Structure 1
Amino acid sequence: MTSPVHTTGNAVPPLDTDLAGALDDLDGIHPGIDLIRDGIRLLALDRHTVDGTQTLLAALAGSAGADAITAIGHLVARLANADHNPALRNLPLDAQKTAQRHGEQAAFHLADPDLHQPASEASATITGT
């Protein structure tokens, strides 16, 4: 006989103050950021399986080059590049190049395998590999 999952002791707890505060700080910046906030909130408050949790850890931050952190790094580089973001084209050329360089550095650092290693190890621990 299995235990019921919908008991008080098995309830998904509310957001902790750190995560809730971080999401609140991002409120109203852009509809795309609001969608990201909603997705993070859903992921944090949804009920997951063990296998699903393992996959989420890898997809969020545990697979350098193929996870959400890497995608955000590529987005930062794109937004900081006047060739891809017309809003920057009226800036002085040196400011455009500096913004582009910093965006590229952000993408490089956010793709660093060392940054992804702890989430990868958490994911691997769950699967037992």
Structure 2
Amino acid sequence: MITARPGAQTPAVPPLDDETDALLDSLLGFHPGIDLMVSGMRLLLTGELTSDQTQTVASAVAGDHYEQVDVLGAIRAVMLRLLDPATNPGLRGLTAEVQQQVQQLALQWASAHDDQFPRRLVAETAAVIDGV
């Protein structure tokens, strides 16, 4: 465990590990929106945060296990809208059968997303940081 002595300066945030840095780099260039998301992730990973900011950011990213009003919930909404021909004109040139298959797969992904992301653990972690 890394701790700082009371009154001592907080140590600087270490640079990203090679694996995380390479992962983020590999996401660049697909679309300006994804580039912005990557920039935001880099800022979260390399910016100096207090413990209060850390628990708040963790909760905002993946900690709302009741209503899914968090970044993961927003990504779910983006994926459902992106993969729905009714809301993405770019899919309308596909055959009706392919459009339906894409939409069904998106709904299956969203369902798995709802079941598999352990938001409760993030919420509990944020509560521990907050002293609750």
Q: TM-score, normalised by structure 1?
A: 0.88
**C-alpha displacement of 1:114:** 4.9
Matched, 1:17 2:10: no
**C-alpha displacement of 1:11:** 1.1
Match in the other structure for 1:102: 105
Matched, 1:120 2:93: no
Runs of 4+ in 1 over 6 A off after TM superposition: none
1, 8, 23: which one aligns with 1:3: 8
Counterparts of 1:102 and 1:72 in 2: how far apart (Å)?
Answer: 16
- The amino acid of 2:98's aligned partner reads A
Q: How far does the alpha carbon of each residue in 1:73-95 deviate from its partner, in whole angstroms, 9 at most, with x for none?
A: 11101111000000000101111
Output the aligned Cα RMSD: 1.6
1:112 aligned counterpart, secondary structure: helix
**Counterpart mapping for 1:1-129 below 5 A:** 2-5=7-10, 10-64=11-65, 65-112=68-115, 114-129=117-132
Return 5+ residue gaps in structure 2 as ranges.
1-5
- The amino acid of 1:122's aligned partner reads T
Counterparts of 1:16 and 1:74 in 2: how far apart (Å)?
Answer: 30
Return 5+ residue gaps in structure 1 as ranges.
none
2:118 aligned counterpart, secondary structure: helix
Q: TM-score, normalised by structure 2?
A: 0.86
Counterparts of 2:9 and 2:62 in 1: how far apart (Å)?
Answer: 32
Counterparts of 2:100 and 2:15 in 1: how far apart (Å)?
Answer: 43
**C-alpha displacement of 1:56:** 0.5
Counterparts of 2:127 and 2:20 in 1: how far apart (Å)?
Answer: 24
Match in the other structure for 2:3: none
Q: CA 1:114 to 1:40, structure 2 compared with 1: closer, same or farther past 3 Å? A: closer
2:33 aligned counterpart, secondary structure: helix
**C-alpha displacement of 1:110:** 2.3
